[in-house]
Amino acid sequence: MLNQIWERLSLRARLLLPLGLVFAVALLAGAISLQIFATAQLMEETEPAARSAKAVAAALNGALEVSLNPQATLDAFVTSLGTSNGIRFRRAGSISDDRPHEVQTPLDTVPEWFVRLLILPEFKTAFSVAIAGKQVGDIVVAPDMSADVYEKWIGFLAIACSALSLMLLTGAIAHFTARSALQPLQNLGDGLTRIRSGEYEQPIAPSGPPEIRKSAQQANELARTLNRLSQDNRRLLRQIVSLQDDERQDMARELHDELGPLLFGIRANTVALLESIPSGQAKSKGAAEDILQSVETLQQANRRILDRLRPLYIQELGLERSIQTLLQNARKQAPHLEVTSQIDDGLNGVDGLLSQTVYRVIQEAVTNVLRHANASTVRVLAEINDREVLVEISDDGIGFAADPIFGRGLTGMLERVRALSGTLKLRREGGRTCVRCQLPLSDAAAPARAVEDDRGQSA
């Protein structure tokens, strides 16, 4: 339990709490020491008064023995004592006054609890006085302890004030020391957070104690290393994407140049065969028509595969028209799906790899909607500004699982976006699933960050 409480305390509390405990323990130890040693010291300080009273009693008894009028001599002695509280005469048979003397001080500032803490001894030392062998009274020692108690109080205040001042000074030093360390630590934590999110360009300002400055410098070195690795990774991804596009282009060329003519030849021969079959041979004619239908289906599948492998429309029609053609094909495949779009015609001016990435992101997102979303509406936004290209595809479908597993399509999208230093986010907002992609127009853009789901967690 105590360990859990200690773990929750801030650095300032961890410094100030022990100081406060030390101060409280010091006060308690001072009070105990005062109670133990002050009483004995006060008794020692009253010893001279007791010896003086003994000497006075001996002298008075001697004077009474040789006096012709002992009673007059005793009265004169009592009168000479006056109202002294240190030594007084108590006549025989009088009522004993053992009440403790009230502590009076010059400023009358000694609190009652402090007097009780001292445990003042009750002095009952008395020396008998006799006339003709008969005791007529006692010389009683009744010292006034006010000055001594006041002295102890002043000493206690001096110690307490010194301890309090020392604690406040130490606490102030600890506070400002912690403050001088906490701000650099906060800067270091913010810098590490930026590094974790992939922002390596802004260095951490080294400040504070040498240990924290050294940690900040090491974190900056780590950021520079990660930045170099990230740049190398993006260049590698860019090369991989380019190689993949080249492979797709070669495969598309092979399909178009080899498979296309073969399918066209089969279709032409089948049409010729249909025309040559006599009208009475219905079975042969039906088989030829089935072949013709299969060939047409293969030709359509070949065209879809060619569109997936390499969007040939981009170079001929431009990116904006290519996207519109892609969406028209989506409407044909799913007549029930309402497809709305807002495509910036300025996209026709972006370079080849960026334009292919924009096309692929929209293509993969729309394909996922058609295959998995069970949606009734889909909106496609693609616009360009001075710094970046923004692509957003949203639908009102069933959404995605809490912990989605990304397949080849989405993984390929992410690799393409990372290669261009962009960001790709997958969100669920207002009952709609949204794929949002931001691609910088220059290579100096911020490093790519991972796909995020609707909870803001990296996928």
Structure tokens at 401: 């699982």
Q: pLDDT-based confidence at 342, cuts 50/70/90? A: very high
For residue 148, pLDDT beyond 50: yes
What pLDDT digit, counting tens, does each position of 243-256 carry?
Answer: 777 777 778 777 77
What pLDDT digit, counting tens, does each position of 1-25 carry?
Answer: 666 676 676 766 777 777 777 777 7
- What ranges make up the beta strands (E) of 92-153? 126-131, 134-141
Question: 330: which residues sit within 8 A by CB, 6+ positions away?
Answer: 337, 339, 366, 370, 378
| 35 vs 263, more confident | 263
Q: pLDDT-based confidence at 451, cuts 50/70/90? A: very low
For residue 398, pLDDT beyond 60: yes
For residue 393, pLDDT beyond 90: yes
Rounded distance, CA 23 to CA 61, Å?
Answer: 56
Question: Residue with structure tokens 């495969």?
Answer: 251
For residue 382, pLDDT beyond 90: yes
For residue 389, pLDDT beyond 90: yes
Q: Would you state the pLDDT for residue 345?
A: 86
For residue 410, pLDDT beyond 70: yes
Q: Would you state the pLDDT for residue 39?
A: 65
Kindly state the average pLDDT of the residues 383-403.
85
- Across the chain, mean pLDDT equals 77
Helices assigned H by DSSP within 67-111: 70-81
Q: Would you state the pLDDT for residue 340?
A: 92
Question: 202: which residues sit within 8 A by CB, 6+ positions away?
Answer: 191, 194
What pLDDT digit, counting tens, does each position of 298-330 carry?
Answer: 888 887 777 767 655 676 778 888 888 889 888
DSSP one-letter string for 325-350 = HHHHHHHHH-TT-EEEEEE-GGGGGS
Rounded distance, CA 158 to CA 151, Å?
Answer: 11
DSSP one-letter string for 276-341 = HS-TT-HHHHHHHHHHHHHHHHHHHHHHHHHHHH--THHHHH-HHHHHHHHHHHHHHH-TT-EEEE
Question: Is residue 84 helix, strand or coil?
Answer: coil
What pLDDT digit, counting tens, does each position of 184-208 carry?
Answer: 888 888 888 888 887 888 888 888 7
Rounded distance, CA 104 to CA 158, Å?
Answer: 20
Domains and CATH numbers, the chain: 11-176 (no CATH), 318-459 (3.30.565.10)
Q: Would you state the pLDDT for residue 390?
A: 93
Tell me whether strands 338-343 and 126-131 are parallel, antiparallel or unpaired. Answer: unpaired
- Give the Cβ contact number of residue 8 at 10 Å: 7
Q: Would you state the pLDDT for residue 402?
A: 61
Q: Would you state the pLDDT for residue 377?
A: 93
Rounded distance, CA 293 to CA 344, Å?
Answer: 39
* Nearest alpha carbon to residue 302 among 344, 264, 271, 276: 264
Q: Are 342 and 393 in contact (CB under 8 A)?
A: no
Q: pLDDT-based confidence at 459, cuts 50/70/90? A: very low
For residue 454, pLDDT beyond 60: no
Output the pTM of the full model: 0.48
What pLDDT digit, counting tens, does each position of 57-98 carry?
Answer: 788 788 888 787 888 888 888 787 765 556 777 777 766 554
Which residues share a beta bridge with 378?
339, 395
